[in-house]
Each structure stands twice: as C-alpha cells, then as structure tokens.
C-alpha cells in the first residue's frame, strides 16, 4: 500500500476478504466491510448477527458490530473519521456493490478511489505452498470424479444427469463446494463454449465436453475434457488431436520469465496452421486460486512475465457451429524450470 501511496484499503465480502482475514460470506445488502489503513490496525464493520463468527474465525481484532435497527452509515462515518480518511487515496474491492461505494463517496467525497486489484493481484497471483497444496487436492478430486463418470455409458443420459453426477462425486470425495456451475455440452451444444448442462440426451456419435471443478478450503480446480460417445468420426478425431497438441505446445512454453501472450500464441498458431484459427474464439487461459477466474490472464496483448508460483488454466478449444466442439483444459503451476499440471485426468481421446 505504501509503495502505491494507498492510505486505505476497503474490502467487501469477497475472496479478497477471505485472503486477508480468513473470513468471508456471500455479498449482501447489509454493510459488511474490512477497512485496512496503511498505518494502525484494521477495523471490521459487521452486522451484529455475524459478530461472534467473525471474532472466532478472522485474524482481525477490532470488530465493530451494528444491529439491524441501527444506521450503518453512521458507524462507517465514525470509522472513516477515526482512520483519518479525508483526502486519501482509497483502494476499493473490485467487486464491492455500487451501493456501498456510493455510500463511501458520499461520506468522503474528496478521496481518490482506485481499484483494490492494484494491491491484491500482485499478492494473490503468486501462490504459497499452503495454497498450492489445496489446489492440488482440488485437482485430484476433479480427476477422481471424472474417472468415475467416464466409466458410465453416457448414451441416453441427459447433460444435467451427468453434470449432477460429476458434482456429487467431487463433493463426496471431500470438496467443500463446486467451484462453478458444471458444464456438460453434447453434440452441437459442444460448439458453444459456455453452454450450460440441459435436458439433451446423449446419442451415439456425440461429442461431449465437460468443464468442472470444486473447491478445497476455498481454492478452486477447473478441468475440461472432451469425449466421444461411441466411435469418433475422422473429423472428430482430427479436431481432437489439433486441440490436444495445441494444449501441449502451450504447456511446454510455460516457465518463469515467459510473457503470458507467448503461451497464448503457442496454442493459437498451432490451431491456425491446422486451419481452425477462426474457431478458437477465446483466450488460452485464466489465473485461478480463490477465484475461478483471476490474474494472470493468458491472452494476446498481455505482456506480463509469468513467475514461479503462478497458477492458471491452459484451455484451447475449437468450436464448429452446429456440428461439435472440443476443449481440453488443465491447471498449470509455474515451477522454477517449467510448468506442472495440477490435474491429470486422461488427455487422450476416449
Ligand atoms: Co477454465
């Protein structure tokens, strides 16, 4: 904060709140804030019904609670006064609800408001060993769940039934919760990168793409695999091998000091040379940790140098509209001499 001349960091319920204080909850309409000044102690403003919980679970000692019949704005005003926020540079949690930012702007109109990601992203994008071990576990649970589901005869099952099965297996093995809504896209639906599982029944010859992950102590996994129900057509086989090789090329490019855009380029150039450049309609990857999508983004134009301890997905895909699509995704940790995958489900065509 001092390096960036930020006087006050204001965090709302979010992954940042969990990262900094070991506590968070879903964002809601009640004022719930962690205020961290550059000097002095942090202050937690919490709804009274959370006071004991925050006290037991968070690292923060100063907890000010407000009751449902109190005016939380008054409490916020007195806290900001105590922290001497008047002409300060104030960093705001990127996902804070607009209503709370407007409240802050009303109380301290002369402050300069900036995004908290200025401070938080450089911290969060480098994972420490305790974070990595949780992500490894989350990846392992996803692998095991997929292993179980890929034994099923998919024919006749609906996308939703398969998605529910995958989720159940991840949770049964110890995931805290799923990391995001599980995607199962079959047949022509697999040509839609973010198709949600629906009621379509799997038929012989369908391509089926799965995109799934769970959380362990808040840390996410995120895996995509594509299988064929029955015998693949030559076209399915060809497209699959192009994606498989593009994913491997991008993975091989990972190492400390490499620009993020270079990893994207490896996958994209391979797919383009194979004639499918226009069908690869998204970035190659995204950082992952407490959030499923966070920095660093593996995308053209991002000249950020990858560092040891970063974790991100590599997930090229080819989508042929009204026909089928293929995506293969792994989470990769940057080590001192390259990349290490945190999930290892079979990547060969099944
Ligand atoms: Co992903």
Q: What is the pLDDT of residues 197-227, one digit of tens each?
A: 999 999 999 999 999 999 999 999 999 999 9
Find the 55 Cα to ligand 1 centroid distance in Å.
Answer: 35
Rounded to the nearest integer, the mean pLDDT of the chain is 97
Find the 213 Cα to ligand 1 centroid distance in Å.
Answer: 9
Q: What pTM did the predictor assign?
A: 0.95
Find the 155 Cα to ligand 1 centroid distance in Å.
Answer: 26
CATH 3.40.350.10 domain residues, the chain: 8-124
For residues 64-92, give the mean pLDDT: 96
User: Would you place residue 17 in the very low, low, confident or very high pLDDT band (cuts 50, 70, 90)?
Assistant: very high
User: Would you place residue 316 in the very low, low, confident or very high pLDDT band (cuts 50, 70, 90)?
Assistant: very high
Phi, psi of 165 (to 5 degrees): -65, -45
Find the 285 Cα to ligand 1 centroid distance in Å.
Answer: 7
Find the 9 Cα to ligand 1 centroid distance in Å.
Answer: 29
Find the 222 Cα to ligand 1 centroid distance in Å.
Answer: 5
CB 14 within 8 A of CB 28: no
| CATH number of the structural domain 8-124 | 3.40.350.10
Whole-number pLDDT of residue 270: 98
User: Would you place residue 346 in the very low, low, confident or very high pLDDT band (cuts 50, 70, 90)?
Assistant: very high
Find the 311 Cα to ligand 1 centroid distance in Å.
Answer: 12
Residue from 244, 230, 221 nearest 133 by CA: 221
CATH 3.90.230.10 domain residues, the chain: 126-341
As given in the structure block, the two tokens for residue 18 are 């969990």
Whole-number pLDDT of residue 211: 97
Q: What is the pLDDT of residues 135-194, one digit of tens each?
A: 999 999 999 999 999 899 999 999 999 999 999 999 999 999 999 999 999 999 999 999
CB 250 within 8 A of CB 313: no
Whole-number pLDDT of residue 240: 98
Find the 286 Cα to ligand 1 centroid distance in Å.
Answer: 7
Find the 337 Cα to ligand 1 centroid distance in Å.
Answer: 24
Measure Cα distances from 103 to 35, 82, 197, 327 in Å.
Answer: 14, 17, 39, 44
Find the 313 Cα to ligand 1 centroid distance in Å.
Answer: 6
For residues 316-322, give the mean pLDDT: 98
CA distance 158 to 197: 8
For residues 294-305, give the mean pLDDT: 98
CB 291 within 8 A of CB 274: no
CB 137 within 8 A of CB 320: no
Domain 126-341 is of which CATH architecture? Alpha-Beta Complex (3.90)
């Amino acid at each position: 904060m001092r390096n960036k001349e930020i006087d006050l960091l204001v965090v709302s319920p979010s992954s940042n709140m969990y990262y900094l204080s070991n506590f968070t909850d879903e964002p809601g309409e009640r004022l719930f804030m962690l205020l961290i000044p550059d000097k002095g102690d942090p202050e937690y403003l919490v709804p009274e019904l959370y006071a004991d919980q925050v006290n037991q679970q968070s690292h923060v000692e100063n907890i000010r609670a407000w009751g449902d019949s109190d005016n939380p704005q008054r409490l916020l005003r007195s806290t900001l006064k105590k922290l001497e926020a008047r002409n300060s540079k104030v960093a705001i949690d990127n996902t804070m609800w607009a209503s709370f930012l407007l409240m802050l702007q009303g109380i301290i109109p002369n402050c300069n408001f900036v995004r908290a990601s200025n401070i938080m992203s450089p911290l969060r994008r480098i994972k420490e060993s305790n974070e990595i071990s949780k992500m490894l576990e989350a990846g392992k649970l996803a692998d095991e769940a997929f292993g179980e589901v890929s034994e099923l005869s998919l024919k006749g099952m609906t996308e939703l039934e398969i998605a529910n099965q995958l989720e159940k297996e991840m949770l049964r093995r110890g995931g805290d919760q799923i990391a995001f809504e599980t995607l199962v896209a079959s047949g022509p639906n697999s040509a839609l990168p973010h198709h949600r599982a629906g009621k379509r029944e799997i038929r012989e010859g369908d391509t089926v793409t799965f995109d799934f992950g769970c959380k362990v102590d808040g840390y996410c996994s995120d895996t995509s695999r594509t299988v064929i129900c029955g015998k693949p057509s030559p076209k399915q086989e060809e497209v699959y091998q192009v994606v498989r090789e593009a994913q491997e090329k991008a993975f091989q490019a990972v190492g400390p000091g490499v620009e993020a855009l270079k990893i994207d380029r490896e996958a994209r150039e391979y797919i383009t040379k194979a004639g499918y450049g226009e069908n690869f309609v998204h970035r190659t990857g995204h950082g992952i940790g407490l959030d499923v999508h966070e920095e660093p983004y593996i995308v053209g134009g991002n000249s950020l140098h990858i560092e040891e301890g970063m974790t991100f997905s590599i997930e090229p895909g080819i989508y042929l509209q009204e026909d089928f699509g293929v995506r293969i995704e792994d989470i990769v940790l940057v080590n001192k001499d390259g990349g290490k995958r945190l999930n290892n489900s079979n990547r060969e065509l099944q």
